[in-house]
Structure 1
Amino acid sequence: MTALLALAPIVLAIVLLVFKQPSWISATAGVIAATVLVALFFPTPAATLTEAGAHYFPLILEVALILLFGMALARLLEAAGSMREISAWVEAAAPSRSLGVALVVFGLVPFAESVTGFGIGVTIGVPVLRLLGCSLRQSAILGLLGLIAVPWGALGPGTTVAAALAGLDVDALGVATAWVNAIPVIIVAASVILIMRPSLVSALGIIAAAALMWTGILIASITVGMAPAGIIGSLIVIVAMGALFVARRRFTGFTRRLGIAVLPYATLTVGLLLARAFASAVPSPLTRIIASPPFWLAAACLIAAITVTSRRTVALSAARSWLPIGMGTAAFMLMGWIMTTTGMSAAIGTLLPAGLILMTPWLTATGAVVTGSNTGANSMFTGTIGAVAAASHVSALPVVAAGNAAGSLAALAAPPRVAMAVQMADPSGPASADDVSWAQGRALLVAGLNALAIGLWIQFTT
């Protein structure tokens, strides 16, 4: 009975989301329900709540700032025409459609997603795929498959939340997730090949791009840390394939406008890496702030704003768009904290038989499809996953990493994101219901196969 009561806030939030309520309303309802249940059935000492809140509430602020500056950067880059410049270069430089698709799926979309989050990578990748000659349906599903680096999207707030709720080191969780993410990468690479049906050489190029991205993210996670790993791994693909394209076609296409377009990305990437190295050498509260993702996202926004004349309008638009997203994310994080700190998540964990950890990736996958983000999914289910791992007498790190990887890829199957991808593939009119249904079915198939594969892997390797 206690476990079913503990499950009520999550069920309430999911039901409201299914009935098309905004995420901030659904999450807030979950917070209220969790608070009432704590007062009635899960009493927790005030000292425990205060101590846990002192560590967790600054994280809520950091994630909110990451979302705000990430969205502002995306709007500023759109207003400046930066992505149009980059897209035009990809279209002109790619020697074949299949290799161009590989660059978009394993380079351009993951890079944009790692920098800004919110599925912005899809809005950038789908139009490029159309320019490369892909059909509407191909462009929509391939753009969604590019969300292969969501654990590091927007510099990894979802992974940070999972680490905080599970009591794990965030960089250790980043490395563990990078290892597990080999499974989603394999599934996505196979899907791209099935969709494109390329020649043998191009198929090998697709596999090489996927392997290069995975290897780059893994090495960056080990050597640099979680936050910039997605940027570095996808950037390696862009540089390597870009150099190959230039060498094969004897065409550079490098212009001053292209340089200006990539300057905010360069500022964010280089600045964050140097600041993190400095903070490691000279640890202090000030250097930790300077090495934080929000700081360099804000710096990138300032660089991007230089070439935008309507800066105030863009900033206000970004703030209005951020408000419901920021409120929803913060509310989901608060709900996850309440449930984890008061023992509600542990109670939910008793509903799964001890030792049956293959079910845990399905929790975050379901949460990501419903909420549209790995941050929301991890906020809802990380505490439960940790409880299942403890009851099964296995380390929480690989189990939480598996859930993180499964939920992150499953975000591609969130219905609003699928509809957005189809609309981006044909912006001339309303998205066709048949096209949306086609893309939705395949996105859910990919998410389901991934959760199944990761579940089997974690069951038999821990």
Structure 2
Amino acid sequence: MEISLALLPIVVIFLLLFVLKQSSVTAGIISFFVAAVIAMFTPYFSLNLTSLFDATAEGFLLTVIVAYVLLFGIWLFHLMNEAGLIQTIAVHISESTSDPARQALILVIAFSPLVESVTGFGIAVIVIAPILIALGFPLFKAAVLSLVSLTAVPWGALSTGSVIGANLTGISIHSLGAGTALMSIPVFFYFTMITVFIVGGWKELRKKWFEIIAVSVALIGAIWFFSQFVSVELAGVFASLAALSVEMLFVRFAEKKQKKNDVVAVSETNVKDSLFKALSPYLLLTTMLFLSRLIPMVREWLNTHGIIELKKYAFELPILYSPGFFLLLTCLFAIVLFKLNVSLIRKSFIATIKQWVPVNVSMFGFVAMAQVMAYSGMTNLLAETGANKFGSAFVILSPMIGAVGGFLTGSNTGSNAMFIKLQVQTANLLNLSPELVAYSQNASAGHVTMASPSRVLLAAQVSNIRHEEISLLKMMVKIAGFALLLIIVEMLVISLFSQISHK
């Protein structure tokens, strides 16, 4: 009975999302209340009112860390969108080649991770799908490609999902980010290949095999390097720039476009100037974050000034060191540089709040639910049961659990909030590497969000194919399912090598 009760909050999420078709906001809040009632009023768990308050407070404070970043990340997107800058950037990139496969590589593999890394929560779909349609891609293909473009979700919204995961488990954010990157190596190659295959089939795959490898290596290498040695928050941004640079080299040298006259040259110069100006907010943000993480004197000052601290909950939020502060400065920079009027500023901020509030309410529900389950002993009970029932087979189950969370919530952050503590606790009981299990959770949750019903609905709406939503969902489940299979195989191989090395 106690195991069924401990599972009930998670089962409630399934029922609300898939049977009753409720929003993630409703699911998050109701699942939190269900966990609280079970924890306080059943004989199996002993959570008093004070402990419930502490668990809820910790959930709220963890949400605040992410909410601070999301607020200004989403606002930056809306400011740039209102100024027409997102279209300027994306159209310039897409029109640099007439080859559909290269257009897809530029937009889906190279450019989308930049948008998703700064904004998060599937906004890249809204940016990428309309551009692909404008370029002549069929509506269904454009929708599929826009969803596949969500390759860098574990680093989305300046790695807020990884930040939540690191805070809940105590694993270093650098370790979690770099480990997730290594776990994602075959997945990144797969998504690059599937992008080319969707556009041109086996013929294009054979024709562009070296290009696929080069772009994938640039993306993977940059994500791993910056996660490990510089800043996990910046990893997706720099990876996008690296992949974009490599792909543009292929465009330039493979197609060898001839400049016919000086008029064209002047026109291209003007376009490059406008592109640089449109990219300048991203460049400023990247530079500020880069310097704040690499210069010891700057890092120390930012980490010791403007600190919000609650010792009772071991909570600390360095206001000036957080990416949220640099996003705020970037928003102000964009307002001044592009001379946005009060009306546009107000419109963009209202749009931001409308998007920001439900995201944070649902995230609070999932995080607070996870904290109540941990405080009351539910998480420990489920971990012990999982360890006893599955044993070493948990290495296969672990990616599946992460994937279920990503599929349900459409969010790497939401999945980590629900499951990463449970996963790590189970790994410890089984003497498995808790870090490896955390990498698996973070990677599988992130890479399966592209098949989430909420993401699929968004792509169907943007691409004007609501009548094909079920077909689109089936297609994305297949694509994301194979990515999950790759992670499971990788976990099995690592586990086997670990067993052999210990003999």
Where in structure 2 are there 5+ consecutive unaligned residues? 260-267, 307-317, 496-503
Q: Which residue of 2 aligns with 1:20?
A: 21
Q: 1:211 to 1:87 in 2, by over 3 A?
A: same
Match of 1:34 in 2: 35
Q: Give the distance between the partners of 1:25 and 1:437, measured in 2 at CA.
A: 23
Structure 2 residue identity aligned to 1:129? L
2:492 to 434, 437, 459: 459
Distance 1:199 1:147, change over 3 A: closer
- 2:398 aligns to what? 360
| 2:204 aligned with 1:174 | no
SS of equivalent to 1:43: coil
Q: Distance in 1 between the 2:96 and 2:390 partners?
A: 54
Question: Which residue pairs with 1:60 in the alignment?
Answer: 63
Which of 432, 440, 450 lines up with 1:402 in the alignment?
Answer: 440
Q: In structure 1, how many angstroms separate the alpha carbons of the residues matched to 2:52 and 2:177?
A: 27
Shift of 1:20: 2.1
The structure 1 residue matched to 2:326, chosen from 271, 296, 315, is: 296
CA drift at 1:364 = 1.6
Equivalent residue, structure 2, for 1:242: 248
1:444 counterpart (474, 477, 481): 477
Change (3 A) 1:194 1:245: closer
- Residue 216 of structure 2 corresponds to which residue in structure 1? 210
| Aligned-partner SS, 1:249 | coil
When residues 250 and 62 of structure 1 are mapped into structure 2, their CA distance, relative to the original with a 3 A threshold, is: farther
C-alpha deviations, 1:194-239, integer Å up to 9, x for none? 2122164434323321221111101111111211111111111123
Where structure 1 has 5 or more consecutive residues not aligned to the other structure, the ranges are none
Partners in 2 of 1:425 and 1:57 — Cα distance?
Answer: 36
Moved more, 9-18 or 348-357: 348-357
Query: Which among 250, 272, 284 is matched to residue 303 of structure 2?
Result: 284
Contact 1:94 1:100 in 2 (8 A): yes
The residue type equivalent to 2:245 in the other structure is V
From the superposition, tell whether residues 48 and 71 of structure 1 become closer, same or farther in structure 2 (CA, over 3 Å): same
Distance 2:258 2:121 in 1: 36
More moved, 152-161 vs 243-252: 243-252
Are 2:304 and 1:262 equivalent residues in the alignment?
Answer: no
**Distance of 1:208 and 1:440 partners within structure 2:** 30
Displacement after TM superposition at 1:56 (Å): 6.2
Equivalent in the alignment of 2:292: 275
Instruction: Give the RMSD, CA atoms, in angstroms.
Output: 2.3
Return the TM-score normalized by structure 2. Answer: 0.85
Answer with 1 or 2: which has the greater Rg.
Answer: 2
Relative to the length of structure 1, the TM-score reads: 0.92
**Matches of 1:230 and 1:242, distance apart in 2:** 18
Letter of the structure 1 residue corresponding to residue 479 of structure 2: V
- The 8 Å contact of residues 95 and 249 in structure 1, kept in 2 or not, is answered as no
Q: Does 1:340 align with 2:348?
A: no
Name which of structure 1's ranges 141-150 and 163-172 shifts more when overlaid on structure 2: 163-172
Contact 1:361–1:451 (CA under 8 A) maintained in structure 2? yes
Cα deviation for residue 46 of structure 1 reads: 8.3
How many residue pairs get aligned? The number is 457
- Determine the C-alpha separation between the residues in 2 that align with 1:392 and 1:157: 28
Offset of residue 305 of structure 1 = 2.6
Q: 1:176 to 1:101 in 2, by over 3 A?
A: same
Q: 2:430 maps to what in 1?
A: 392
Does the 8 Å contact 1:165/1:336 carry over to 2? no
**8 Å CA contact retained: 1:68, 1:326:** no
Take 2:381 and 2:205, find their aligned partners in 1: how far apart are those partners? 52
